[in-house]
Amino acid sequence: MRLILKNPVGIATCSANGKLSKKGSEMSDVGMVTGADIYIENGIIREIGKVEVPPDCEILDVSGKTIVPGFVDPHTHAIFGGTREREFAMRARGMTYSQIAAAGGGILDTVSKTRETPKSKLRSQAAKRIDRMLSWGTTALEIKSGYGLDFKNEIKLLEAANELREESIPDIVVTFLGAHAIPPEHKNDRETYIKILTDELLPYIQKKSLAQFCDVFCDEGFFTVDEARRILAASRVAGLKVKMHADELSSNGGVNLAVELEAVSVDHLENISAEEIKALGGSDTVAVILPAVAAYLRGRPAPARELIDGGCAVALASDLNPGTSMVDNMQTVMFLAVSLNRMTVEESLNAATINAAAALGLSDRLGSIEVGKQADMLIVDADDFSYLPYHFTENRITNVVKNGTVLEFS
Ligand code: NIG
Ligand code: FE
């Protein structure tokens, strides 16, 4: 299959110039190319430039339009039962996320709704979310477990994620987040639950190849740094790569552990300290920030400026989940990153593409428009890609190109 995208106004390539991510000031450059077409063969970008049309080649005239890489959403909890609008209203009346969690709400509320929902329903509800995400431009995403919190239900979620991985158009990466919270039945003996994670779930996940990453919610009221270290050590033995939720509610040393373990990414970082920013800036661990969370929790936004100025590779993600981010749209996330986290529009695009792919360890294949990469691209009906975060309620993406196939959305 051959395809030429002809006469775009510009192509924001988001190329990292041979590196796996863009760090610090490199994030200001979106690698804009003008006066070029894109030639795609069998789902791979073959040429960027003025291309002679070969025989049997589909031509898509994209005059007046801009092309950007498909968005990668590297942190979602897209499979869950129920919703939590009541907690949203409770927080608006002054209760905090931690107070609601300590009273048995929060994650544990979604756990009980998820446990009672059959796998087929969880899967079909998530499939609808993924379709919406694709229409907003997300061509690859991560899905975490973490609302099962016992053997049977964590496996149910991982199996649903793997079924979605088979049947969905976007690429899907699966993360095991059994360490999302201590389940109510082990409230008074957390050690037993940690042993279920390390000695039962992780070996089974390895045997059945159910996940690529392991994540731990390392924060006040959830898992300590020492517990995270044990769980992540066991996950390495099971062949999984490391991610962490850290510094969302407090600064407790999780980032230093992520750097020490050479985690692929460390996510949240609303309360990261200056020393931790320094450590992260000197590492290859991607800093994933989730701007919708601060908006939903009325909290402090992650210090994107300090992270970028400190030399970090910053990525953006939706954190789609029923508690702290009912956001499935990376254009909205880019808007929030610019307005709340004070990123530039150029930084927000690199953070939603090449650096987001790096946060999944996939930037050798995804996240930028370069010869040899997978042809995942968005055709934007605007002469400047800034239109995407600027008017995020209107979807200006007319076509998503996924693996070289043109999908139409408006
Ligand atoms: O990334 N912080 C932990 N996990 C989610 C929240 C999950 C929930 O509240 O259901 C997050 O924000
Ligand atoms: Fe999360």
pLDDT per position as a tens digit, 49-78: 998 999 999 999 999 999 999 999 999 999
Q: What's the rounded mean pLDDT across residues 335-358?
A: 98
Q: What's the rounded mean pLDDT across residues 154-168?
A: 98
- The verdict on 335 and 384 lying in the same domain is no
In ligand 1, the atom with minimum distance to the C-alpha of 75 is 1
> How open is the CA angle 26-30-36, to the nearest 5 degrees?
140
Q: What is the pLDDT of residues 242-300, one digit of tens each?
A: 999 999 999 989 999 999 999 999 999 999 999 999 999 999 999 999 999 999 999 99
Question: Which residue ranges have their beta carbon within 6 Å of ligand 1?
Answer: 77, 106-107, 110, 217, 245, 248, 293, 319, 321-324
Give the Cα separation of 378 and 400 in Å (integer).
5
Residues 6+ apart with CB under 8 A from 375: 3, 38, 40, 43, 44, 45, 401, 402, 403, 404
Q: What's the rounded mean pLDDT across residues 23-48?
A: 98
Of 321, 338, 358, the position where a domain reaches its end is 358
CA 41 – ligand 1 centroid, Å: 40
Q: Which ligand is in closest contact with the Cα of 75?
A: 2
- The verdict on 89 and 233 lying in the same domain is yes
Q: Is residue 410 scored above 80 in pLDDT? A: no
Q: What's the rounded mean pLDDT across residues 335-341?
A: 98
Give how many domains the chain has, as a whole number.
Answer: 2
CA 336 – ligand 1 centroid, Å: 18
Contact 212, 247 (CB under 8 A): no
- The verdict on 89 and 162 lying in the same domain is yes
Query: Could you tell me if residue 257 is inside a domain?
Result: yes
CA 245 – ligand 2 centroid, Å: 7
Give the Cα separation of 86 and 252 in Å (integer).
29
In ligand 1, the atom with minimum distance to the C-alpha of 323 is 9
Q: Which ligand is in closest contact with the Cα of 76?
A: 2
- The verdict on 148 and 212 lying in the same domain is yes
- The verdict on 249 and 268 lying in the same domain is yes
CA 381 – ligand 2 centroid, Å: 32
Distance of alpha carbon 133 from its chain centroid, rounded?
Answer: 12
Q: 199: how many CB neighbours lie within 10 A of its CB?
A: 11
Backbone angles phi, psi at 126, to 5 degrees: -70, -35
Q: What is the mean pLDDT of the chain?
A: 97
Give the Cα separation of 276 and 269 in Å (integer).
10
* Per-position DSSP letters for 292-322, written without gaps between them: HHHHHHT-PPP-HHHHHHTT--EEE----BT
In ligand 1, the atom with minimum distance to the C-alpha of 147 is 10
Query: What is this structure's pTM?
Result: 0.98
* pLDDT confidence band for 409 (50 / 70 / 90): confident
* pLDDT confidence band for 103 (50 / 70 / 90): confident
Query: Could you tell me if residue 134 is inside a domain?
Result: yes
In ligand 1, the atom with minimum distance to the C-alpha of 106 is 9
> How open is the CA angle 322-289-176, to the nearest 5 degrees?
60
In ligand 1, the atom with minimum distance to the C-alpha of 219 is 2
CA 289 – ligand 2 centroid, Å: 10
**What share of the chain has pLDDT > 90, as a percent?**
98
- The verdict on 64 and 113 lying in the same domain is no
- The verdict on 281 and 193 lying in the same domain is yes
pLDDT of residue 177: 98
Query: Could you tell me if residue 60 is inside a domain?
Result: yes
pLDDT of residue 346: 98
Give the Cα separation of 33 and 48 in Å (integer).
9
Give the Cα separation of 390 and 399 in Å (integer).
19
CATH of the domain at 90: 3.20.20.140
- The verdict on 277 and 328 lying in the same domain is yes
Query: Could you tell me if residue 253 is inside a domain?
Result: yes
Query: Could you tell me if residue 213 is inside a domain?
Result: yes
Ligand 1 atom 12, closest CA: 324
Q: Is residue 216 scored above 90 in pLDDT? A: yes
Q: Is residue 372 scored above 70 in pLDDT? A: yes
CATH of the domain at 33: 2.30.40.10
Query: Could you tell me if residue 363 is inside a domain?
Result: no
Q: What is the pLDDT of residues 125-143, one digit of tens each?
A: 999 999 999 999 999 999 9
Amino acid at 232: L
**What share of the chain has pLDDT > 70, as a percent?**
100
- The verdict on 123 and 184 lying in the same domain is yes
- The verdict on 306 and 247 lying in the same domain is yes
- The verdict on 132 and 15 lying in the same domain is no
Of 333, 358, 383, the position where a domain reaches its end is 358
Give the Cα separation of 297 and 88 in Å (integer).
8
Backbone angles phi, psi at 371, to 5 degrees: -60, 130
Residue to substitute in 98, 319, 333 for testing ligand 1 pocket (most ligand atoms within 8 angstroms of CB)? 319
Query: Assign residue 167 a region: left if phi > 0, alpha if psi is -120 to 50, beta otherwise?
Result: alpha
Domain membership of residue 221 as a residue range: 72-358
- The verdict on 347 and 225 lying in the same domain is yes
Query: Could you tell me if residue 258 is inside a domain?
Result: yes
Query: Which residue in 25, 89, 11, 4 sits closest to 369, CA to CA?
Result: 11
CA 267 – ligand 2 centroid, Å: 8
Query: Could you tell me if residue 378 is inside a domain?
Result: yes
